[in-house]
Amino acid sequence: MSSILPRIVITPGEPAGIGIDICIQLAQYPHPQMQWAVIADPLLLAQRAKQLQLPLTLHLAEDNIPGTQAAGHLFYIPISLPSLCETGKLNPEHADYVLQCLTLAIQLCQDNVFDALITGPVHKGVINQAGIPFTGHTEFLAQYTNTKKVVMMLATSGLRVALATTHLPLSKVSAAITPDNIFQTLSILHQDLKKYYSLTRPRILVCGLNPHAGEDGHLGREEIDTLLPVIKQFQAQGMQISDPLPADTLFTPPYLQACDCVLAMYHDQGLPVLKYRGFGQAINITLGLPIIRTSVDHGTALSLAGTGKANSDSLRYAISSTLEIITQNNNIPSSYDQ
């Protein structure tokens, strides 16, 4: 890096969605705490700014990205769309563009040009419709960085939820809950909670897979045969990791007030609770990567694109959280008040 200020690169995601909108909204305010740029087609940025009736002066991002970017100014790294983007309308022709932006952003972080990556929402369906196998950002990031195992964690004020499995059909979850998976997940989660949040002894609550955490084996044996033996290994090392707990009671104040993170077994076991608590003020963090990656907690919201009704709060929260993580990793003085 060429500057003491944290440098963040943003990929807006699906070009027809609100990712472009919230980046333009973000550019309406100065951000003296960081240097930042988006990877996008400049013609798309200009077109959407005009549609939103927001002032926007575009600058090609080079080494001289200023620490304080004036309101209404946006630095970009160009990748061209193959065809015109119609706001709010998906186009499979644009799938490769989305992944090109993401790939370049990852590479720039690996090359230490930027300290962290924040991703906007993508539309998995249209990428698959284009004939490109894609299950989500988390899996793509792991594959591109040659990372054997990553952990998806969402965070909002007062609650963090990590996942043992990510984008799997429910019918495949039980088979994916293996001793090796749980061991690696807990190892990465424990390590990065310490690394990113200065937690000396992270307190992790583990959800059981089955109702009532298996009811002593009467409602399933995954807790007894898979989860508990692995958890006992960590407990023997002095780590504060709970035995498997029923998910319906774990997500209550007495438990949550005494933990730093919950490990849920599958996507819809933990994330509905977190999103109910902090939707619009939550982020997705990929743990275990060689780079820092966070993301907004919402989707493409195609019907809101270009209307001016998109809410950029999640992006702002992603920025503030990312700056805190960068600061913790690099001892860079930073604060974010926008």
CATH number (domain holding residue 114): 3.40.718.10
Band (330; pLDDT cuts 50, 70, 90): low
Do 160 and 222 reside in the same domain of the chain?
yes
Give mean pLDDT, residues 254-273. Answer: 95
Token pair of 120 as six digits: 């906007």
Kindly tell me if the per-residue pLDDT of 317 is higher than 60. Answer: yes
Q: Is 92 in contact with 85 (CB distance < 8 Å)?
A: no
Do 323 and 278 reside in the same domain of the chain?
no
d(CA 256, CA 259): 5
pTM of the model: 0.88
Kindly tell me if the per-residue pLDDT of 190 is higher than 80. Answer: yes
Band (185; pLDDT cuts 50, 70, 90): very high
pLDDT in tens, 48-103: 999 999 999 999 997 677 777 789 999 999 999 999 999 999 999 999 999 999 99
pLDDT at 26: 96
Band (337; pLDDT cuts 50, 70, 90): very low
Kindly tell me if the per-residue pLDDT of 231 is higher than 90. Answer: yes
Q: Is 157 left (phi over 0), alpha (psi -120 to 50) or beta?
A: beta
Kindly tell me if the per-residue pLDDT of 338 is higher than 70. Answer: no
d(CA 67, CA 267): 38
Contacts of 294 (CB under 8 A, 6+ apart): 116, 117, 118, 119, 283, 284, 285, 286, 318, 321, 322, 325
Do 272 and 333 reside in the same domain of the chain?
no
Do 237 and 176 reside in the same domain of the chain?
yes
Q: Is 261 left (phi over 0), alpha (psi -120 to 50) or beta?
A: beta
Kindly tell me if the per-residue pLDDT of 3 is higher than 70. Answer: no
Do 258 and 167 reside in the same domain of the chain?
yes
| Strand 282-287 to 151-156 pairing | antiparallel
Contacts of 146 (CB under 8 A, 6+ apart): none
Q: Count how many domains the chain has.
A: 2
Neighbours of 135 (CB within 10 A): 14
Q: Is 295 in contact with 137 (CB distance < 8 Å)?
A: yes
Do 130 and 190 reside in the same domain of the chain?
no
In which element (H, E) is residue 248 found?
A: helix 247-250
Do 30 and 129 reside in the same domain of the chain?
yes
pLDDT in tens, 108-152: 999 999 999 999 999 999 999 999 999 889 889 999 999 999 999
Q: Which of 118, 100, 104, 155 is closest to 36 using CA atoms?
A: 118
Band (2; pLDDT cuts 50, 70, 90): very low
Kindly tell me if the per-residue pLDDT of 235 is higher than 60. Answer: yes
Range(s) of the domain holding residue 212: 151-287
Contacts of 112 (CB under 8 A, 6+ apart): 1
User: Which of 249, 272, 287 is the endpoint of a domain?
Assistant: 287
Share of the chain above pLDDT 70, in %: 95
Where b means 16+ CB within 10 Å and e means fewer, 65-82 reads beeebeeebbbbbebebe
Token pair of 124 as six digits: 């998995």
Token pair of 335 as six digits: 């604060």
User: Which of 266, 287, 308 is the endpoint of a domain?
Assistant: 287
Do 131 and 193 reside in the same domain of the chain?
no
Do 319 and 201 reside in the same domain of the chain?
no
User: Which of 244, 259, 287 is the endpoint of a domain?
Assistant: 287
Do 178 and 50 reside in the same domain of the chain?
no
Do 71 and 103 reside in the same domain of the chain?
yes
Do 11 and 116 reside in the same domain of the chain?
yes
Average per-residue pLDDT for the chain? 92
Q: What is the dihedral of CA 234, 261, 105, 3, to 10 degrees?
A: -100
Kindly tell me if the per-residue pLDDT of 1 is higher than 60. Answer: no
